[in-house]
Amino acid sequence: MMQAILVTLHLLLQSLSIINVFLKKLVEFILFSSIFIAGCAVALCIETNLLLHLPLNIISFYCFVFGATLAQYNLHYLVKTSAVKNSRRLAWSLKNKNLHKILFAIGIGLIFFSFLSFRLHHFIILGILGVIAFLYSLPIIPFGKKRRIKDYGFVKILTLALLWTLVTVWFPVVNYSFERNIFVFVFFKRFVFMFVLCLLFDIRDIEVDRKENIKTIPVILGKKRSYYLAYITLAVFVFLSIIQFYFFGNEGVLIAMLISALLTFFTIEITKKTNSDFIYLAGIDGMMLLQAVLVYLIGLKF
């Protein structure tokens, strides 16, 4: 009887171990393949329409945003050769170059599928955004030795924050009529919020950027003062949220933004203790998804 119990426990532990390994591999795939951040981009687009009280876009629009993000980030990791010490994501990427190529192709396929529902002005806008996005990752800028936007430290963070803002705030509402004043608040709040998230990744990459002589804000200011800048910028986000509430009301949106800012603050504190890829990809990037969910759950209830 006892032997049967021990065998059962052994099999149970083996099963749990297999499940644990499977879940770990699944989480790595979702995060490291950029599927998660592509989903975050879609969530922010939906959040924008909710904040401006506009109908959601058609499914092909969200396919485009998902596909473009998937393609851009997988392209980035196809050419990326350096990262923070002991980066599990870089190790995963180096082992899965072919998978990155497949995901890049899937992203491009979703983009072309989405084109069927786009109009001429969409293509003009997307052409500009696409050029900037590719210049960010690909070494094709013909000026000196530095040939990518991301090699020009301060320009890098402004470009990345602006691209995310244009794609997730302006692009989702380009076909709609909306209240311009509220739009301005949503736009600048999103830019400030994305700046905070981008700055945290630059802080993480400070040693790599210093070694490659990329003058990012953390390389120039140092890690401690860069964290102070992140706090100040997050405070600006809170201030803009309060001002928006003062002029346009909706305490639900204000509560959602304050909770989002508070949880971002706590996540920043965690990043001071670890450079874990999981904390940055699920935690920092996850703040985008969390904010969208909070707006849906709380912001629409008032």
Contact 258, 219 (CB under 8 A): no
Q: Where are the alpha helices (DSSP H) in the chain?
A: 2-32, 35-51, 59-79, 88-95, 97-115, 120-137, 153-165, 180-204, 206-211, 217-221, 223-248, 251-271, 277-278, 286-297
pLDDT recorded at residue 9? 62
CB 158 within 8 A of CB 199: no
Q: pLDDT band at 276, cuts 50/70/90?
A: confident
The predicted-structure confidence for 147-186, as pLDDT tens digits, reads as follows: 666 666 678 898 889 999 999 999 899 888 888 899 999 9
- Return the pLDDT at 115: 84
Q: What integer pLDDT is reported at residue 249 of this predicted model?
A: 84
CA distance 302 to 296: 11
Return the SS3 of 260.
helix
- Report the predicted TM-score, pTM, of the whole model to 2 decimal places: 0.88
CA distances from 30 to 89, 90, 282 (A): 11, 14, 10
Question: Which amino acid appears at position 278 of this protein?
Answer: F
Angstrom distance (rounded) from CA 226 to CA 116 = 44
pLDDT over threshold 90, residue 86: no
Count of beta carbons in the 10 Å neighbourhood of residue 178? 15
Backbone angles phi and psi of 23, in degrees to 5: -65, -40
Q: Is residue 217's pLDDT more than 80?
A: yes
Under DSSP, the state recorded for 283 is I
| Confidence band for 90, pLDDT divided at 50, 70 and 90 | confident
Asked if residue 49 has pLDDT above 60, the reply is: yes
**What is the pLDDT at residue 260?**
97
Give pLDDT tens digits for 241-272. Answer: 999 999 988 899 999 999 999 999 999 999 99
Q: How far apart are CA 165 and CA 178, in angstroms?
A: 17
Among 80, 88, 120, which residue's Cα sits nearest to residue 104?
80
Whether the CB-CB separation of 156 and 219 falls below 8 Å is answered with: no
* pLDDT score of 230: 97
Q: Tell me, what's the pLDDT at 269?
A: 95
CA diameter of the chain: 77
Per-residue pLDDT at 212 exceeds 70: yes
